[in-house]
Structure 1
Amino acid sequence: MADDADAYAAMQPDGRPKNIAANTVRHARALAEESGEGADPAAWLRLTAKAVDYTARYAATARKVRDQ
C-alpha cells in the first residue's frame, strides 16, 4: 500500500499537494516501523489510524490512475 501511495505522491504536480502526500506517506512508514512503546497508546493508535487512512486513499487513487 505504501508503494502505491508513494506513486500517488510522485504523480502530483510540484507544490503543496505533492509535499503533503509525500510527507504523509513518509510519516506512515515511520509509524509502521515504531512499536509505540513508551508513548501514549491511544494517541499512537490515533496517529497510526490516520496515517493508514490517508495512505490507503492515496494508494487507491494511484491504482485507479495506473489501471486506466
Structure 2
Amino acid sequence: MPYVNIKITNEGATAEQKQELIAGVTNLLKDVLGKNPATTVVVIDEVSTDNWGIAGENVTSRRKKGL
C-alpha cells in the first residue's frame, strides 16, 4: 500500500487542484510501479508560511523581501 505525503504552503490551493494532485500521484504510481490505485493513499498537508523555512528563514519573511 503506497503512502504519499505532499506538503504545500497554505496559499490557496483549490479543492480542484488538490484533487488533481491526488489523482495524478495515484496514476503515476500505477503507471510507473504497477501499484493498485485502490490501496494508494495520498495525504496533502498545508503548512503555514510561518512554519516553512528556507535558507534559515521562514517563507513569510522571504516573501516580504521579494525572494
Using structure 1 for the length normalisation, give the TM-score.
0.34
Say which structure is richer in helix.
Answer: 1
Structure with max Cα Rg: 2
Normalised TM-score (structure 2): 0.34
Structure ranking higher on relative contact order (CA contacts 8 Å, 6+ apart): 1
